[in-house]
Structure 1
Amino acid sequence: MSETPETPAVAVFRPDDERIADAICLLEDLDADPVADPMLAVEPTDATPRTDADYVVFTSKTGVELVSEAGWEVSGETVCAIGPATADALRREGYAVDIVPEEFTSSGLVATLATEIDGARVEVARSDHGSPVLLDGFEDAGAYVHETILYRLVRPDGSGESAALAATGDLDAVCFTSSLTVEHFLEAAAERGIRAEALEGLTEATVGVIGAPTAETAAARGLDVDVVPDEATFETLARETLEAVRRVDE
Structure 2
Amino acid sequence: MCIRWPLHSGERQMKLPADEVRAKAYRKVPDEFGGLFRIIPLSDATFVEAKESLSRLTEEEIIDAFVWTNDCTFRGVDVLSLLRGEKIAGNPPRTHRDDWDEAGQIAGSLSEVRQIADTGILRPDRYRDPLFRSAITSVLIHLKDLLYKARVAGMPTTISDERGDTNLLDVIPSARDAACHVTSKKVQVGPSRVRYGISRGPDAGAMIDGVQLGCPFPDEVAVFFGPNRVYLNRDILTAYHHLRDYYGDDGLASDSTKA
TM-score, length basis structure 1: 0.25
TM-score, length basis structure 2: 0.25
Larger RCO, structure (CA 8 Å, separation 6 or more): 1
